[in-house]
Amino acid sequence: MPPFKDEHVLIIAPGSQVTLAQLGLPESFTPARWRFPSRMFPSEKKGEYEPYKIHERRQEVKSANGSTAAKEQEDVEMKDQPPQEGTANADAPKTESTDETKPEAAENAGEEGKEGGENGQTVQEIFYEEDIASEEGAIWPMQKGRIVDWECFFALLTHVYNTLSPPFHTPIMLVAEPVWSLRDREAITQFVFEKFKTPAFCLMDSAAAVCYGYGVQTATVIDVGKDKVDVTAVTDFQVNEHGRGVALEGCGGDYMTDRLLELLGSKGFSREMCEQLKRSNITELLPAGTPLPGAAATARQNGPPAGSNTQLGGVENGQPKNANGTAENEEDEGVLDVAAIVSGNTSEFLAAREKDKGTKKGADAAKPVRLPNSKKEKATFQHQEFVKLEPEKDAPSGPSRFMRQTRDIEVSVERFLSATPMQKKGERLSSGLLEDIATQIHHTILAVPDATKRSDLWDSLIIVGNGSKVKGFTQALISTITQKFVLSPSGTIFTSEIPSNFSTPLPTGGTNTPVPGFPGQMHHPGSQGVNPLLVAATHSGNPMPPGTPSIDPLSHHRSTGHSQTPTSVRTVKPPEYFPEWKEQTATQQPPQNQPGLNGPGGPASGGGHRGMEEAVFLGAQVASKVVFVIDQGISKGFMSRVEYNENGPSAIHEYVM
């Protein structure tokens, strides 16, 4: 088989919400160039699916002007959008960056309409119009990582494949969700080989991919998704299936939204508002035990939450809060002139707008001190919603226009409580999002058979997934683990004898010095000031007791005694050699306030993610490079078509990475 080239590798990472994809490996690995919403719409013909909602419209076509007709297949245009568009917008306010695709796409539809109507006859015709914003009737083939609708899932894969239209000699790397059963994987293998006729296929476990992305061989990967969490212990790049926390229910990002809704629902918050509040930069998880700001300073985060806060939380909502107080101004703020955006330079336009708004706000800013968010009792976030404008009379069939309404909503300390236990008790006695995840981590690591690796696993947590984007998630999780599970290097040290055979710890070189302020470096409160030698001594293996008989060493195994874990908990530092990813990690952009994932499937717009949440995609690229390009199948990293033809889909398990 001829060698595979970088530019031919196709990577697809399906998720319950978004499917990431990319054709070709760039010189330096970038975040996924394509992001597709993981949904399809049933088409007219049964058993077929369309990527967008199709509306049927009957109307009389009169002349070229103002009529609308959209071709059925519109992805062509979407493809033409330059993939780097998003990065060009990097200087534009991030809150806006993905939204603009929508009006633009709507405009595209309009343009097509002109073309279609040029025949100029007055006939009653049926037009099919793609409604890019609509989610009505959408089928999401994956739920909580599980594939619930195979037909639709395969249609989605096909849509992704066709959109990227790779050449024939393209190896495919597919990132597998942990929850997929072995039979599921076989079905996918069969589909990929038989439908796409790929010469080589690799199905990679998402947890292993994250480890490749971080460049560590042993780690505990915590993938916080929309409504599920996967906790996986990876030792030496091998995924430990036993004790793995697969698709833990009720632990994902949705939990936080639901909790916010529970707290704020009585104050008129809708779920959509809570979702945006969660995504805003004022929502934060505070480390366990941190007092809440304001009057609730004495209340602990774990305490009874909603009750005491209701009075002090003067939440203004329901009415658009207007900075300058006049209705005119509001109109000016809210309506986004789609035409202006489309015709002009979008990023400039938006930047100017934003600046304009900023100065206005700055003028009446009466805040004397700038406190960090976690100290402020109240904070405001910008709520945005899209309202479809009624078509004007003179252009009844023009492209649908959207008006974006922005309003500031003030929220009290509820914004710190998104991970606390639900008031409305379900059928699980959950102790809050973080504690449930922490318990799962403890269970997963304890189930790792190689006890000597457990300490390493605690010291290398990797938290990924877009659910973990909420500010302070990592720190809060680590502090929860510390409170519940980390062992204290306490008085045991002085009561027990120190074994004489422990090795002296090596002096730490400059490279090993912990970076101050690195979020992972959370030590147990009790560990401060304890001689590390003593800690090492008490937690190292004990010497063999006297009188051990000599026995046949070959046929005989002696397990090494080990000690309890964890003595410390740390996160793994993301790799620094991928500038595109590093940049995203470094810049603390305010998370975008775009409504859900309504945006069209198209090139990623750069903004919005803070980077390593999608490390799984970076890892898939690293692994593709290794498996397809460098190794070329010598170490059986992928399944080739020849092998598939010989052994069938079940042979994929021998290659699963």
Partner 1 sequence: MNPSVPPSAAEYGGDEVSAIVLDPGFSSTRAGFAGEDTPKSLIPTYYGKYSFEDQDKIIFGDDVFVTPRPGLSIGNPMGRDGIVEDWDMAEKLWEYSFTSRLTGAKPGNPLHNGLNDVPDGELPTEMEGLETDEKPLADSPLLMSECSWNPTKAREKTIEIAMEKWGAPAFYLARNGVLAAFAAGKASALVIDIGASNISITPVHDGMVLKRGVQHSPLGGDYISSQVRALFKSNTPQPITITPHYLISSKTAVDAGQPPQAKYKTFPPDRTPDASYRSLLEERTLSEFKECVVQVWPGPTKLSAPGPNGVPNEEMARSSPGRPFEFPDGYNQVFGVDRYRVVESLFDAKAAIPDPDSLFPAPTQAQTVSELVKAALNGVDVDLRPHLLANVVVTGASSLLYGFTDRLNQELMQLYPGPRVRISAPGNTSERRFSSWIGGSILASLGTFHQMWISKKEFDEHGPNIVEKRCK
Footprint of partner 1 on 237-276 (CB under 8 A): 241-245, 248
Measured between alpha carbons, how far apart are the two ends of the chain, in Å? 21
Instruction: Tell me which residues in 377-406 interact with partner 1 (CB under 8 A).
Output: none
Stretch of 78-86, 121-129, 429-437, 467-475 lying at the interface with partner 1 (CB under 8 A)? 429-437
Question: Cβ 101 to partner 1, closest distance in Å?
Answer: 30
Give the nearest distance from C-beta 181 to partner 1 in angstroms.
Answer: 4
Contacts (CB under 8 A) with partner 1, residues 132-151? 150-151
Name residue 413's amino acid: V
Q: Write down the H helix ranges in 305-381.
A: 306-312, 327-334, 338-343, 346-363
Q: Are the beta carbons of 59 and 49 closer than 8 angstroms?
A: no
Residues 24-83 that bind partner 1 (CB under 8 A): 47
Query: Half-sphere exposure (CA, 13 Å, Cβ side) for 530?
Result: 20
Shortest distance, position 358 Cβ to partner 1, whole Å: 42
Least distance (Å) from partner 1 to the CB of residue 559?
6
Q: Cis peptide before 304, with omega less than 30 degrees from 0?
A: no
Q: CB-wise, 321 or 484, nearer to partner 1? A: 484
* Residue 649 found at the interface with partner 1 (CB under 8 A): yes
Q: Which two tokens stand for residue 512?
A: 């090993």
- Which region among 25-33, 207-215, 548-556, 592-600 touches partner 1 (by CB under 8 A)? 548-556
**Closer residue to partner 1, CB minimum distance, 275 or 435:** 435
Smallest gap from residue 657 Cβ to partner 1 (A): 15
Query: Does residue number 307 form part of the binding site for partner 1 (CB under 8 A)?
Result: no
Q: Is 372 exposed, middle or buried (0-12, 13-18, 19+ CB in 10 A)?
A: exposed
* Member of 311, 359, 495, 511 binding partner 1 (CB under 8 A): 495
Site for partner 1 in 431-450 (CB under 8 A): 431, 435-436, 439-440, 442-443, 446-447, 449-450
Is residue 655 a contact partner of residue 203, using CB atoms and an 8 Å limit? yes
- Find out whether 375 and 293 touch, Cβ atoms under 8 Å: yes
The reply to whether 532 sits near partner 1 by the rule CB under 8 A is no
Q: Which is nearer to partner 1, 19 or 98 (CB)?
A: 19
Using the rule CB under 8 A, is 304 a contact of partner 1? no
Give dist(CA 41, CA 152) in Å, integer.
9
Interface characters, 571-610, with partner 1 (x: CB under 8 A)? ----------------------------------------
**What single-letter amino acid sits at 433?**
L
Q: Which residues contact 535 (CB under 8 A, 6 or more apart)?
A: 489, 493, 527, 567
Cβ 201 vs Cβ 174: under 8 Å: yes
Looking at 306, 487, 597, 629, which residue binds partner 1 (CB under 8 A)?
A: 487
> Does the protein bind partner 1 through residue 193 (CB under 8 A)?
yes
Contact with partner 1 (CB under 8 A) among 81, 281, 542, 598: 542
Which SS3 state, helix, strand or coil, does residue 620 take?
helix
Residue appearing with tokens 């949904």: 39
The DSSP letter of residue 381 is E
Q: Residue 477 Cβ, how far from partner 1 at the closest point, in Å?
A: 14
CB nearer partner 1, residue 484 or residue 573: 484
Cα–Cα distance, 428 to 365 (Å, whole number): 45
| Greatest CA separation for the chain | 103
d(CA 396, CA 68): 10
Residue among 546, 588, 634, 635 that touches partner 1 (CB under 8 A): 546
Sign, CA torsion 591/593/598/601: negative
Q: How far apart are CA 12 and CA 18, in angstroms?
A: 11
358 part of the interface to partner 1, by CB under 8 A: no
The distance of closest approach from Cβ of residue 204 to partner 1 in the complex, given in angstroms and rounded to an integer, is 16
Contact, 224 vs 247, CB < 8 A? no
Question: Is residue 427 a contact point for partner 1 (CB under 8 A)?
Answer: yes
The reply on whether position 648 binds partner 1 by CB under 8 A is yes
Stretch that binds partner 1, among 129-137, 480-488, 572-580, 625-633 (CB under 8 A): 480-488
Residue 172 CB-half CA count within 13 A: 31
Question: Does residue 451 belong to the site contacting partner 1 (CB under 8 A)?
Answer: yes
